[in-house]
Amino acid sequence: MTGGPVDPAHLEPVTARAWRAAEEARLGDWRLNASRGVSGRINACWANGSPERPVEAALAEVETWYGARGLPARFKLVEGLCQPTDLPERLRAAGYRSSKETLVMTGPLTSAADGRVRVLNEADERFAGVAAGLGADAAWLQVEADNAAARRFYEAAEFSEAYRYRYWAKD
Element (H, E) at 14: helix 8-18
Digit-coded pLDDT (tens) for 100-142: 899 999 888 765 555 554 555 544 544 555 455 555 677 888 9
Q: For the whole prediction, is pTM greater than 0.85?
A: no
Percent of the chain at pLDDT > 90 equals 54
Digit-coded pLDDT (tens) for 120-130: 554 454 455 54
CA distance 119 to 127: 9
What is the number of other CB atoms lying within 10 angstroms of the CB of residue 84? Answer: 14
Averaged confidence pLDDT in the chain:
84
Digit-coded pLDDT (tens) for 33-69: 999 877 887 899 999 999 999 999 999 999 999 999 9
Query: Regarding beta strands 45-46 and 138-144, do their DSSP bridges make them parallel or antiparallel, or are they unpaired?
Result: unpaired
